[in-house]
């Protein structure tokens, strides 16, 4: 719970600054690049977070990485603040909350679509349009396959789950037959 509170506080602060100068998307991208780099390079993450190394050495490394990535002065200062407050380890959570804030501002919803087989482009587009109409916002989708579904599609948009899978329909039919309901 503390991590989520910390993540929200820092993400909201960065978002406020980004909205003031209109560069909130750029700041989000820079934060994402740095966060992904830390996750992809465990040695870098260890060097930045491990107290075995002196604060000065770690700070120099942070500044060097920020310089190599050509981060904006604001994101650079944000990372230094996180470092000074010993909150750099919370960066993945901060990045996640920040992305949610950007999505909210852009009226964008992220959908996770699961199907038994790959969906063709026409079907993906029709599904995206239906989800946009249903949620009254722009929708970006991630696709995954699950052969166990047998057929159909399950779409998750935030808390909303639209389950049109054959597996679920068969389960519902089974339950109805067990209860003796007329189908």
Phi, psi of 157 (to 5 degrees): -125, 100
Q: What is the pLDDT of residue 6?
A: 92
Which residues, other chains included, contact 116 with Cβ-Cβ below 8 Å and sequence gap of 6+? Answer: 145, 146, 147, 148, 149, 150, 151, 152, 165, 166
Distance, in Å, from the CA atom of 130 to the CA atom of 136, rounded to the nearest integer, reads: 10
Q: Which residues of the chain have pLDDT under 70?
A: 1-2, 182-183
Alpha-carbon distance 167 to 152, whole Å? 8
Judge whether 116 and 151 are in contact, CB under 8 Å.
Answer: yes
The pLDDT of residue 165 is 84
User: Residues near 177 by Cβ (< 8 Å), separated by ≥ 6?
Assistant: 183
Question: pTM here?
Answer: 0.77
Q: What is the pLDDT of residue 177?
A: 86
Return the closest-CA partner of residue 108 out of 142, 134, 138.
Answer: 138
Long-range contacts of residues 83-87, Cβ cutoff 8 Å, at least 24 apart: 83/48, 83/58, 83/59, 87/6, 87/10
């Amino acid at each position: 719970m503390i991590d989520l509170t910390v993540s929200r506080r820092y993400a909201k602060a960065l978002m406020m600054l980004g909205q003031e100068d209109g560069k909130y998307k750029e700041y989000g991208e820079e934060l994402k690049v740095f966060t992904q780099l830390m996750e992809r390079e465990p040695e870098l993450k260890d060097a930045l977070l491990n107290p075995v190394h002196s604060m000065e050495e770690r700070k120099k490394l942070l500044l060097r990485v920020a310089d190599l990535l050509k981060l904006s002065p604001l994101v650079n200062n944000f990372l230094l603040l996180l470092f000074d407050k010993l909150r750099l380890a919370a960066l993945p959570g901060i990045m996640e909350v920040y992305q949610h804030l950007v999505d909210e501002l852009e009226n964008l919803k992220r959908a996770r679509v699961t199907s038994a087989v790959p969906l063709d482009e026409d079907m993906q587009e029709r599904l995206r349009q239906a989800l946009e109409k249903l949620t009254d916002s722009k929708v970006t989708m991630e696709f995954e396959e699950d052969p166990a579904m047998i057929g159909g599609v399950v779409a998750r948009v935030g808390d909303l789950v639209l389950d049109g899978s054959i597996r679920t329909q068969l389960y519902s039919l089974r339950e109805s037959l067990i209860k003796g309901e007329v189908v």
